[in-house]
């Protein structure tokens, strides 16, 4: 899965997720791992939300069931809240009401996630993304987003869960983009150059994003 992410081959993710979710004896740990991959995979489907609407809704329905199962088994964890926050953002792209309806729900879940665990890497990254993409008149702040992306990367570095390797790549890219959009293109170049020394096969960063900065 990780190598497929580096090579931008998300069809592998779809195939593996279909096989993984077909199992009838998934553990809570399995469902948490699947939730992290769905967080990344469903986001890629949103690139063409109209075309992929049914698939998006199908995955979200299964994902929500997994989160309910996780909650029943472990209680209200920061990860459950954080994934629900992401789901509400995704719903805003395919369901009636858009961000006017689903945005406040996403923010409420994110606040719960950060209250449950102020060091949760997923919540940090989501906070950064919200600040990055929201218009400034409703609280968006790309400079503040940088701080949250940096927090997310620091939190990810403290986890031994290999599932989060793709999150590290995605968050590093987000950090570089935030520096670029706040006028510090050189810092964005430095971030990418340094990261590619660790992950030279991260094809989108190497072949598309970094060249666009030069």
Count the alpha carbons within 13 Å of 150 in the hemisphere toward its beta carbon: 10
The C-alpha atoms of residue 206 and residue 192 are separated, in whole angstroms, by 8
- Nearest CA among 89, 166, 87 for reference residue 133: 89
How buried is residue 131: exposed, middle or buried, by Cβ count under 10 Å (0-12/13-18/19+)?
buried
CA distance 179 to 186: 8
The Cα–Cα gap between 184 and 138 comes to: 24
pLDDT in tens, 6-27: 999 999 999 999 999 999 899 9
Q: What is the domain partition of the chain in residue ranges?
A: 9-118, 142-214
- The DSSP annotation for 84-102 comes to HHHHHHHHHHHSTTHHHHH
Report d(CA 37, CA 47) in Å as an integer.
Answer: 16
Cβ–Cβ < 8 Å for 128, 170? no
CATH class of the domain comprising 142-214: mainly alpha
pLDDT computed for residue 98 by the predictor: 86
DSSP 152-169: HHHHHHT---GGGHHHHH
Report yes or no: 92 and 49 within 8 Å, Cβ to Cβ: no
Please enumerate in sequence order all residues whose Cβ is within 8 A of that of 43, keeping only pairs 6 or more positions apart, or say none: 90
Residue 31 contacts residue 72 (beta carbons within 8 Å): no
Report d(CA 53, CA 51) in Å as an integer.
Answer: 6
> What pLDDT digit, counting tens, does each position of 84-100 carry?
999 999 999 998 888 88
pLDDT tens, per residue, the chain with 214 residues: 999 999 999 999 999 999 999 998 999 999 999 999 999 999 999 999 999 999 999 999 999 999 999 999 998 799 999 999 999 999 999 988 888 899 899 999 999 999 999 999 999 999 999 999 988 888 889 999 999 999 999 999 877 778 899 999 999 999 999 999 999 999 999 999 999 999 999 999 999 999 999 8
């Amino acid at each position: 899965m990780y190598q497929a992410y580096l090579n931008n081959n998300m069809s592998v993710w779809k195939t593996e997720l279909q096989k993984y979710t077909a199992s009838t004896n998934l553990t809570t740990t399995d469902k948490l791992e699947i939730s992290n991959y769905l967080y990344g995979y469903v986001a890629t489907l949103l690139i063409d939300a109209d075309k992929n609407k049914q698939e998006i809704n199908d995955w979200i329905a299964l994902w929500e069931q997994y989160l309910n199962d996780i909650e029943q088994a472990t209680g209200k964890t920061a990860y459950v809240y954080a994934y629900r926050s992401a789901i509400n953002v995704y719903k805003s792209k395919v369901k009636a009401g858009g961000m006017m309806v689903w945005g406040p729900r996403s923010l409420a879940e994110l606040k719960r996630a950060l209250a449950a665990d102020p060091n949760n890497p997923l919540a940090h990254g989501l906070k950064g993304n919200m600040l990055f993409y929201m218009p400034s008149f409703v609280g968006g702040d790309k400079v503040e987003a940088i701080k949250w992306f940096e927090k997310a990367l620091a939190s990810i570095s403290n986890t031994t869960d290999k599932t989060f390797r793709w999150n590290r790549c995605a968050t590093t890219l987000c950090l570089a983009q935030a520096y670029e959009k706040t006028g510090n293109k050189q810092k964005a170049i430095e971030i990418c150059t340094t990261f590619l020394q660790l992950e030279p096969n991260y094809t989108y960063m190497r072949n598309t994003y970094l060249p666009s900065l030069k």
